[in-house]
Amino acid sequence: MMEEMIPVTYRPLLAILCPAIGSILIVLCGKWPNIREAWTLLASILQFLFIFSMVPVVIGGNIIRSTLFTAFPGVDFGFRVDAFGLIFAITSTFLWILVSSYSIGYMRSLHEHAQTRYYFCFAWAIFGAVGIALSGNLLTMFVFYEILTVSTYPLVAHDQTPEALFAGRKYLAYLLTAGVFFLAAVILTYHLTGTTEFVNGGIPNLAAEASRTTLMVLFMLFLLGFMKAAWMPFHSWLPTAMAAPTPVSALLHAVAVVKAGVFGIIRVVCFIFGVDLMHALGLGLVLISIAIFTLIVANLFALAQDNLKKRLAYSTINQLSLIIFGAALLTPEGIEGAMMHIPFHGFMKITLFMCAGAIMVASGKRNISDMAGIGRVMPVTMIAFTIGSLGMCALPPTAGYITHHFFVHGCVEAGGTTSYFPYILLIVAMLDVMYFFPIIYTAFFEHTQEQEEGENSIKEAPLFMLVPIAITAICSIIFFFYPDMFHISKLVETAVTSLFGGAHP
């Protein structure tokens, strides 16, 4: 399918600038919490509206381009708004609205310190995430990738305890090192081809300009550059980062950081190397091996965790590799599932993390073993948690079932040995059940002596926290019945059709 260009528009730039301008207003109004938080909410809503306004144009088969300046010959610093980028951008911006509301309830309930710094850094994290989503080439993506890393460090280390400061240092050590590999990959790509542009089906002259060994090295540089995807063995920064406040954990796992990693891997697979070159080099097998190893081992680690947030962290590592798995199949159905799982997993996982935060705020409990009967005193929270858990286990009626349908068909579509991979997905789903269902059982069916004596004073978290939880949980079910909410399925179909041609439905 040919790319139809439309006139340059300032909408991508306006969308990206919303959180940057909002961050300045947040700092200026730091002494007035209500006004400060109003700016946070307003910036998030405006950004979502700017992003969503571009959907009709992109679904029509167009690509919106906006160039700010030329950095090097053949390399512009600017934006490319295509269907795949919009999927990530819509997910990040809509969930920022909900996490902003949730943060107000969370930070005020716990009387957290440095709240102005917190909202300022949160805005810049979204600035980085949306910049990555709309980047027109590898150079632009690299700049926003590093902005995302630096802006989230103060959020990870927010509590300023020894544990939090260690988590922050480890976070930077991993992700700044990853940035070095990413930059090396960008430079090598430019050296080989004279461009860093994203092209549907891959850069045409990449295979002609490099040997097989060079291309293999280039691909590994990209993989190491995208450590944000937390593939094993480069994953340990993520569970350690659970020292951060829960809204930050939600940002890391559902909205911005880890999704930037898998987004980048799919960009490289489909828009730098291309499916045909990936097949020719056997890189799909390399990627799928990494994904399967991480899928299984991450779930085994999750089984051993009593701390709820750490169990959810290992679940995230597992789910990220599921996205990588879909892309590595190099088939239309597999890539469609991978793209669709980015928003679907975002809604389901943010539900789980927000529920964990609500439990902590309302009861002070962090460990699963201490949560006996919590579902009877916090029913809304735990029903939402159950919905998110069903999604992680690929069970209906949740969005997780839809994407697993694509993964299974992608395996069959790939043929050969991969036609047996659905059995691996079944094993992974069973492991998910083994560590999510005991949480649900503990919450609803176990009792404590305090509850039996009727002395339990725990109640639901504040409405600022409860409403976003309910919305994301409901959306996780709506996606099952209507996957085109926010035009997600149309955007996915548009993106996959642009890669594989009109033969794909």
**Per-residue model confidence (pLDDT) at position 452:** 56
Q: Domain locations in the chain?
A: 4-500
**Per-residue model confidence (pLDDT) at position 454:** 53
**Per-residue model confidence (pLDDT) at position 8:** 45
Whole-number mean pLDDT of the chain? 91
Q: Is 333 a residue whose pLDDT tops 90? A: yes
Confidence label for 231 from pLDDT (cuts 50, 70 and 90): very high
Q: Is 4 a residue whose pLDDT tops 70? A: no
CB contact at 8 A, 90 and 488? yes
Q: What is the DSSP letter of 307?
A: B
Q: Is 455 a residue whose pLDDT tops 60? A: no
Q: Is 449 a residue whose pLDDT tops 80? A: no
Which residues, including other chains, have CB under 8 Å from residue 144's CB and lie 6 or more apart?
127, 128, 129, 131, 132, 135
CA distances in angstroms from 430 to 324, 368, 425, listed in the order given: 19, 20, 9
pTM: 0.94
Confidence label for 255 from pLDDT (cuts 50, 70 and 90): confident
Tell me the C-alpha distance between 28 and 145, whole Å: 26
**Per-residue model confidence (pLDDT) at position 441:** 95
Tell me the C-alpha distance between 304 and 321, whole Å: 19
How large a percentage of the chain has pLDDT more than 70? Answer: 96
CB contact at 8 A, 136 and 67? yes
Q: Is 3 a residue whose pLDDT tops 60? A: no
CB contact at 8 A, 412 and 422? yes
Q: Is 502 a residue whose pLDDT tops 60? A: no
List, for residues 73-95, the tens digit of each pLDDT value. 888 899 999 999 999 999 999 99
List, for residues 112-159, the tens digit of each pLDDT value. 888 999 999 999 999 999 999 999 999 999 999 999 999 999 999 998
Helix (H) or strand (E) run with residue 70 in it: strand 62-72
For the record, the structure tokens of 109 come out as 């309930």
Three-class DSSP labels, 315-367: HHHHHHHHHHHHHHCCCHHHHHHHHHHHHHHHHHHHHHHHHHHHHHHHHCCCE
**Per-residue model confidence (pLDDT) at position 270:** 95
Tell me the C-alpha distance between 242 and 167, whole Å: 8
Distance of CA 56 to the CA centre of its chain: 23
**Per-residue model confidence (pLDDT) at position 504:** 45
